[in-house]
Structure 1
Amino acid sequence: MITFNKISAALAVVVLFMFIFVSCSEKDRDQQVAPKADATANDKIPAEVIDQFIKLGFDVSDIKMIEATDPLTGKATGKKNYLLEGDIVITPENLKAMTGSDIHSHGAVNEQYRTANLVSGSPYRIIKVLGYNYGTNALDAKMTTALKYAIDNYNALYGSTFGLRFSLTFGSNTATSDIVVYKVTGSAGGQAGFPAGGNPYKWVQIFSGTSAYSTDVVEHVITHEIGHCLGLRHSDWFNRSLSCGSGGNEGTAGVGAIHIPGTPAGHDPYSVMRACFNSSETGEFGTYDKVALRYLY
């Protein structure tokens, strides 16, 4: 997810009486907060599970248990999932698969990263994306436009070096969709998870407050969350302060933070997969986001 610097933000409110968010270089950021779902405190999660997430490279400082429900009907499934880093949902099945992998990343280096879980079927797989447009979870007009732009970002990669294509429809029938993008109440940002069973993570939440920003910013958030659905991790997981203005390493390198060859050493300020966003985002992939996705698919 994506954040902003609170001291400068407060000054901006007093002096300018307008948006508190400025460019990344000015480090004016404020934490994007996910909706307060029914969550279990950190101390209710077994220590061995927290240790597994640490070894996989995740920041466990805000880990929660959330009720697994149908995201749109709210019907409980009787299961619980883990929520980490504000926008990453990990099912117990995801965790088992990741801890059982023998693929590792060694050292806290500064490249693009993926999880051990990826989408199968490339090349030539079509990922069916649904923009949800019914009831209180319907995308607003700005989100609808931004989703179209985000899907264009991914389809622009399609070719001999990228084998996934994305179809986009709007409606309320989620049954046949691979990814469903919908609105929930919240400050700004989004939430998604990682692939499982060779399929992308299905549910992408976009918080209602995101539409206070430009269409480009909303496009950025949606593109970022779909990146998680395909298995991408935050590109600056090793030092969140690089994009968030505060925070550190999300965890030691492990199976959950696998370096993608061809991406550079050093911080990439243009990556759409940075942990935090700002109000000047263009909504477009950085050069090495494209390299990463083409390498994987």
Structure 2
Amino acid sequence: MKNFKFGLLGMICLGLTVVSCSKDEDQTIPENNDMAEVIKEIPQKVIDAANTLELNVNFIRYGQFHFPDGTSEERLFFEDDITMTEAQLLSLAKLAEESGTRQYSTFNLVSQGRNISIIGYTGGNQALSSKERTALQWAVNNYNRLSGVSISFTLTFGTNYQSKDMVVYNNTVNNPGGAGGSAGFPSNGLPNKYVQIYGLSGYDTNVNEHVITHEIGHSVGFRHTDWFSRQSCGQNTNEGSAGVGAVHITGTPTGYDSTSIMLACFSANEDGEFNGNDITALRNMY
């Protein structure tokens, strides 16, 4: 079975409330972009901030993050799973130091009880296809049908995303060689706003639903379930610390959970649904 990596982001896993581990040395990392002409050195303050948050800096790089209106901004990318601006990284590190804890959930979850406005983008070359719109509706249904979870979603489709809490759009035009998605993390009680998917036209609606549900999961504060091994990707790489950076959520497994929707990589046979442990984790967090 061929597995595919999720794109650029993610902060907290269903089943574990954690942030990733890192190395201490300076690194100069090449852009994962064939058009990139300049390799930008990673400054020590960025590495120090990433270490404070226990983010993995093995593959840290600068790159362009693209928005639905065609603009872009420079962001930091960590192992294709986490992306943020340098200012966001430094701010998070400061909060972690001031709080005396690295437990991400202490200051970065969506406000309890919030109804999240989410829009599927339908404009230009980053519009969702008909299949992707259906998958987004199914993904939103995954969250809204759960009892005992305080957050909920109101879904619309269109191009007026500026006033919405979250926008889901197809960014294949800027990721022509990959398949998956990317998302950010909550801040100030709000979810991550920008959710990208790309390269999914050849997969069925259930796989599209899986990827979108997964990326929304990151956007409300969850990280990969297999953060400790990336086993779903055929790897054995510890992304995080089992010390102060990881807090197990009661009622969820500590080992590999092969059917979680929050695994780091996905296959072409996904059904797009939460498993029981995913639901338990959501209920514990919200």
State the TM bucket, normalised to the shorter chain: 0.7 to 0.9
Residue 46 of structure 1 pairs with residue 35 of structure 2: no
* Change over 3 Å in CA distance of 1:76–1:278 after alignment to 2: closer
Contact 2:56 2:239 in 1 (8 A): yes
Distance 1:189 1:224 in 2: 10
Secondary structure (helix, strand or coil) at the match of 1:169 reads strand
Residue 213 of structure 1 pairs with residue 200 of structure 2: no
Matches within 5 A, 1:1-297: 22=1, 28-29=2-3, 31=5, 36=33, 44-67=41-64, 71-75=67-71, 80-91=74-85, 92-98=87-93, 99-100=96-97, 101-104=99-102, 116-120=107-111, 122-123=112-113, 125-157=114-146, 159=147, 161-185=148-172, 186=175, 187-207=178-198, 209-240=199-230, 242-253=231-242, 257-297=246-286
Structure 2 unpaired stretches of 5+: 9-31
RMSD between aligned residues: 2.7
Contact 2:110 2:221 in 1 (8 A): yes
Contact 2:5 2:266 in 1 (8 A): no
Secondary structure (helix, strand or coil) at the match of 2:115 reads strand
> Would you say how many aligned residue pairs link Structure 1 and Structure 2?
255
Distance 1:202 1:130 in 2: 10
Give the drift of 1:257: 4.4
Contact 2:115 2:152 in 1 (8 A): yes
Give the drift of 1:172: 0.1
Give the drift of 1:58: 2.8
Distance 2:207 2:41 in 1: 36
1:219-243 CA-partner distances (Å, limit 9, x unpaired): 1100000001001011111111x10
Q: TM-score, normalised by structure 2?
A: 0.79
* Change over 3 Å in CA distance of 1:276–1:41 after alignment to 2: farther
Contact 2:6 2:266 in 1 (8 A): no
Distance 2:37 2:54 in 1: 21
Distance 1:65 1:39 in 2: 10
Q: TM-score, normalised by structure 1?
A: 0.76
Distance 2:158 2:6 in 1: 28
Distance 1:172 1:146 in 2: 18
Structure 2 partner of 1:18: none
Amino acid at match of 2:213: T
Secondary structure (helix, strand or coil) at the match of 1:182 reads strand
Distance 2:107 2:39 in 1: 24
Amino acid at match of 2:284: Y
1:67-94 CA-partner distances (Å, limit 9, x unpaired): 466x0223356xx422223142223325
Distance 2:137 2:282 in 1: 19
Distance 1:221 1:95 in 2: 29
Give the drift of 1:54: 4.0
Structure 1 unpaired stretches of 5+: 1-21, 23-27, 106-112
Secondary structure (helix, strand or coil) at the match of 1:53 reads helix
Paired-residue identity, %? 45
1:19-38 CA-partner distances (Å, limit 9, x unpaired): xxx2xxxxx33556668498
Distance 1:75 1:115 in 2: 32
1:29-66 CA-partner distances (Å, limit 9, x unpaired): 35566684987988611234224324534332222223
* Change over 3 Å in CA distance of 1:254–1:192 after alignment to 2: farther
Secondary structure (helix, strand or coil) at the match of 1:291 reads helix
Give the drift of 1:215: 0.9
Structure 1 window deviating more from structure 2 (43-52 vs 185-194): it is: 43-52
Secondary structure (helix, strand or coil) at the match of 1:235 reads coil
Contact 1:195 1:201 in 2 (8 A): yes
